[in-house]
């Protein structure tokens, strides 16, 4: 995929930070509003795909090594399973929510009835959202990047 004109590149430069922030907001507030790991990760990747279309796949592929993205993906998945194992250690059942109602990180008990949402609730759910979000960002970005690069003139031949 080749690069586009200066107008497109400037617009992509402006839109890209907003998309990333919105995607990270959706990942972080997964336990309060609709959203979560996969949805926010898909939004971030759509921002990255915007960058890919504007600057050309060869330019992006030369600057981001896909081996590093594979490492991020593995770290996200290992983080998720390690949280499940920590549930096994601290509350004697796999995937147990050991942080809910405990008063530490994300540990406040939410008030009953419909009230203002408190970010500090949820137990290990926001942490799992972060792990899944990292994995989805890295995984989908690798798929989009490799597909775009493999169909560029340099690779196709």
Partner 1 sequence: MTILEFLLLHSPALIVATPLLSAFLLPLVSRIHPKVRDIFALVMLGVTSCFVGLLASDVLSNGPRIYVFGAQDLNVPVVRILFEIDAMGIFMAIITMMLAGIAVIYSWSFLHQQDGLDKYYTLLLLVVTSALGMELTGDLFNFFVFLEISCIASCALIAFWVTEGESLEAALKYIVVSSIAALFVLFAIGVFYGQYDALNIASLASLLQFTFLDKIAFVILLVSLGLKAGLAPMHMWLPDSYGRAPPSVVLIIMTATLASFYGILRVVFTLYGNVLTTSLRFSLPAHVIVGWVLVLLAIVSILIGVIMALVQTDLLRLIGYAAVAEIGYMMLAVGTSIAALGAPYATVALQGGLLHIFNDALDIGLLFLIAGAIYYATKKRSLDEIGGLARSMKFTTIFFIVGMLAVSGMPPLNGFVSKFLIYESVFQLNPLLSIIALLGSILLLAVFVKVLYAAFFGPELPSLTGVKEAPRSMVLAMGFLAACAIVIGLFPNLLIDTLVQPAAGALLDHARYISMVMGGL
Partner 2 sequence: MIEYLPFLVVVAMILIGLYAVLFRRNLIKLVFGISIIESGINLFLIILGYRDEGVAPIFTSLPSGTMYPEGMVLPVPQALTLTSIVIGVAVLALMLSLVMHIYRKYGTLDVQKIRRLKE
What would you measure as the largest C-alpha separation in the chain, in angstroms?
63
Task: Confirm if 149 and 61 have CB atoms less than 8 A apart.
Answer: yes
In the list partner 1, partner 2, none, the entry touching 156 (Cβ below 5 to 8 angstroms by class) is: partner 2
Please return the burial class of 23, using the count of CB atoms within 10 Å of its CB with bins 0-12, 13-18 and 19+: buried
Report in angstroms how near the CB of residue 148 gets to partner 2 at its nearest.
11
116 binds, among partner 2, partner 1, none (CB under 5 to 8 A by kind): partner 2
Interacting residues with partner 1 between 91 and 120 (CB under 8 A):
92-97
- Nearer Cβ to partner 2 (82/143): 143
Contact 129, 27 (CB under 8 A): yes
Which residues inside 56-95 make contact with partner 1, applying CB under 8 A?
A: 70-71, 74, 77-78, 81, 84-85, 87-88, 92-95
In the complex, the smallest distance separating the C-beta of residue 91 from partner 1, rounded to whole angstroms, is: 8
Count of CB atoms within 10 A of residue 71's CB? 12
- CB of 87 vs partner 1, minimal distance in Å: 8
Count the Cβ atoms, other than its own, within 10 Å of residue 122: 22
Number of Cβ within 10 Å of residue 27's Cβ equals: 25
**What does the binding site for partner 1 look like in residue numbers (CB under 8 A)?**
70-71, 74, 77-78, 81, 84-85, 87-88, 92-97
């Amino acid at each position: 995929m080749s690069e586009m004109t200066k107008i497109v590149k400037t617009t992509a430069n402006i839109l890209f930070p907003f998309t990333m922030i919105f995607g990270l907001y959706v990942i972080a507030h997964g336990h309060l509003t609709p959203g979560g790991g996969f949805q926010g990760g898909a939004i971030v990747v759509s921002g990255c795909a915007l960058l890919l279309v504007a600057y050309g796949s060869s330019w992006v592929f030369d600057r981001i090594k896909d081996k590093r993205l594979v490492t991020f993906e593995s770290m996200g998945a290992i983080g998720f399973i390690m949280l499940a194992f920590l549930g096994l250690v601290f509350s004697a059942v796999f995937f147990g929510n050991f942080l809910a109602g405990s008063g530490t990180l994300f540990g406040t008990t939410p008030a009953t009835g419909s009230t203002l949402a408190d970010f500090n609730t949820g137990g290990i759910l926001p942490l799992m959202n972060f792990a899944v979000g990292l994995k989805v960002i890295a995984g989908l970005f690798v798929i989009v990047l490799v597909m775009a690069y493999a169909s560029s003139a340099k690779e196709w031949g």
